[in-house]
Amino acid sequence: MPNTFIDKLHFTLTQESLLPQFGVIVVACSGGADSLALLHGLAALRRSSLRNYENITLHAASLNHGLRGAESAADAAFVAEVSRSLGINCTIGAISDAERAAWKGSVEAAARKARYAFLRKTAAETGAVAIALGHTLDDQAETVLMRLLSGAGGDGMAAMRLKSGDIIRPMLRMRRRETVAYCRENGLLFRTDATNSDLTYTRNRIRLQLFPAIEAIAPQVKEILARESEIFAADAEYLNAATTQLWADFSATLADGSVALRRKDVQKLPNAIRWRMIRMAAMQIGTAQEDMRFNFDSLKRLDKVIMDASGKTRLVQLATGAAVRVTRGEVIFLVLPHPPDF
């Protein structure tokens, strides 16, 4: 097994086929230890004699969320300077006060959504073939535990993947302490985000309070959770593929955009496939949440109606502006102009 940070980075990129043969890779960098180690490590590999990297061009990208005033701006300027010193082009973005005022829900979720939108915009502008993110095994463990506590289900427990579409996470099997050590060994004075110690945020409470308590009982808990996420991911991949195979035979898209499933066929499916079929139909009409954690209570309520042997026609509300009509022969997912009157 590889020992050094660079060796591990190279091993994961090649063994997991994360590296495109050629093209631009956008590297997300906040200036913190993880993303800085990733940017510097990829630059080192690009300069090496290894043929895998000779046709790769790196492009750094950093978004100033504006949540910490001058400190946020200083972080972005730091990333720009590091990129310049490495001979890497860099795109710096910033969230305006107006954009931030329009955020809905939690600040964490809104900032994440804005960050991914910025990275995809940068990738489009640079013609990038991949976006590299600096998530580590520690991040994965935190995500798995957060999703467990929120009742995310099997797909949610799969958490982050090494590769998801054009997103790659080459450090997902490395510990955070390894990125910190790499930065120190290479004289990289990484930035520290003060909000990482703010216990207002759920992830910080999990990292700073919950994990230390669990590690006192199970010191390897982070490795265990990361390993479990890979098992869940493998199971989800198989079950989702099986559901997709059945989709064409079990479903039909109607003229108005509604989606119809044959009720008797759906009733015969095992729970794991049937629930995925329901989620898939909900996604087709834009109802299921982006992270697939389609409200489980709503799903179970709908599933109970679908499995009802009486065959009565029922209208079940899924979410605001969307509903499901369950008849004797069909389960019709429809988008309504106004919420139905129940």
Give the type of residue at 106.
S
Q: What is the pLDDT of residue 49?
A: 82
Cβ neighbours for 48, distance < 8 A, ≥ 6 positions apart: none
Strand partners, 58: 25
123 to 114, 166, 255, 270: CA distances (angstroms) = 14, 10, 35, 40
Q: What is the pLDDT of residue 289?
A: 46
Give residue 101's pLDDT.
87
Residues of the chain with pLDDT under 70: 1, 287-295, 319-321, 336-342
The pLDDT, as a whole number, for residue 213 is: 97
So what's the pLDDT on residue 69? 84
Find the largest Cα–Cα distance for the chain.
71
pLDDT at position 340: 45
Backbone angles phi, psi at 253, to 5 degrees: -95, 125
Look up residue 100 and give its amino acid.
R
Within 231-290, strands assigned E span: 251-253, 259-262
SS3 322: strand
pLDDT for position 201: 87
Q: Write down the pTM of the prediction.
A: 0.87
C-alpha distances in Å from residue 94, one per residue of 64, 137, 306: 4, 28, 47
Residue 235 CA to residue 157 CA, distance in Å, equals: 11
pLDDT of residue 1: 60
| pLDDT in the model for residue 292 | 39
Locate 90 and state its tokens.
Answer: 């860099």
